[in-house]
Each structure stands twice: as C-alpha cells, then as structure tokens.
Structure 1
C-alpha cells in the first residue's frame, strides 16, 4: 500500500487508512467499548397490550356518515358486574354512544335473567340509541365468544 499500485510510484494510502482508523477510534480510546445503550425500559409482559384510562378518552366527532360508536361486552349485576342494567344503559347514553351490547357471563345467567335483560333492552332502544342483550361463553378450545342481538332464543 505504501509502494503504490505499480510498485514504482509511492503512495500515502497506508498512512491514510491508519489516520482514518485512529480518527474513528478516538472517541473510545482508553475505555472499553464506548457505546452507551439507552436506559432500559420496563418489560411489557404482553406486547401490544396496554392499559387505557377509558374515563379520559374523548371520542372524535364523526367524519363519515352512517358510522356509529358503541360499547360491547357490558356486564351488569345480572352476572358478574356491579351496576344494574338500567344504570349501565343510562351511563352509555350519557357517554354519547349510539349503541351498546351486554356481554353477561352465560354461566351466571338464568333463563329468567336473560329474558329480563332482553325485555329491558327492547324497551330502552329507540331512534337515537340501540341496546342489545348478549352473553359471553368460553369454547372447548378456550376462546371467549360474545353473542348479542335482538333474538337470542
């Protein structure tokens, strides 16, 4: 490299490469490594899933006609929830939803409770707000399914 390409004309290529490598290595000279990784973040145990504070969520205005905002999977005191179905329907209306669907735990429902819920949903539905009776159940493979609608029987 110092003798040149043809061996007759001297070259400064070797000196250039040595100087270049010295210049590149200067920031870490005298220390092992030199790379400083960013601070470690807490590991997310379920990638892609994050807790959302639903009380602070502001729904954007509608930009496309015939789009509806709804709430799926409400659980009332008929199965495993704390509030009555009437309270949950009133809260969904107050929050500005266009529709809501219950997702009561099927294992905790009786036929009478399901009939009461279906009747209540029919009474509370109107021109501007629809509410549907529904339930959740687990399949043999462990998948959680939600079924809701007007005709559940």
Structure 2
C-alpha cells in the first residue's frame, strides 16, 4: 500500500517534493505514450513492446518472443498475439538470430522507429537540451537516482 501523503499542515520534505515530481512526470509520460498509442491504433502494451525492442537493439541484444513476453509480463499466448499484431502493422519482423540461427528474434522495423521519433522526438530533444545544462557531477546524481528508482520499481536494489 502506498505511503500516505502528508497532510496540508505537514511541511513537505525536499525528498517528498522530488518523489511527487517524479510521480507527476510518470503520469505525464504515460499520458503522452497513451496519446501516441491511440493516434496510431495501438494498445499501450504495443508501445511498451516497441520500447523494449528498441532498448534491446540499442544494447545489441537479440530479443526473442519469450524474452519480450517476460519483460512485459505476458504469457505465451499474449506474446504471440502481440508480436502478430505488431508484425501485421509493419512495426516488427521475425528474423533468424545472428549468433544462433535456430533462434527466432523479434526486431523493430525502421518505420516504427521513425514513427516513434516523429512523435517522441520533440520531448526527447527537450530532455537532452535540459540535461546539457548540467555538469557531469549532477548528471551522475540524476543517473544514480533514476537507476535506483527503476531498481526499486522492479523489485531490485
């Protein structure tokens, strides 16, 4: 159960102010992602899958359907339906693995990347612009904080 917010008579600590800002950012990013999904006839899980596939691509990591389903918390049938839907829409393709040709890997298509860039690009550009104003020490603190929150949210750390 989430911790209760302090009442109006309780002064907010700097830590809680940051937690509340993080929550507001998460809500706004979720709404932004939902607008993208709605505009392009996608389910929110489709967008999450494309993000997972782009993250795997950036890390030069092959993503199988099984790994994708596990990352999204889907069972086998749900993962198959998701990949079929994304493949029909031209957002992904199934290919043989580079390291193990017996393995079927799911890859995000360049058209899906461009579609995402056209919608999320201005937000990403503004975020990069904001971060460019910070020195390496502050960037390291931001990276450490966000990594710690991610770990806490996923049950790690």
Normalized per residue, the structure richer in helix is 2
Normalized per residue, the structure richer in strand is 1
- TM-score normalised by L of structure 2: 0.28
Larger Rg: 1
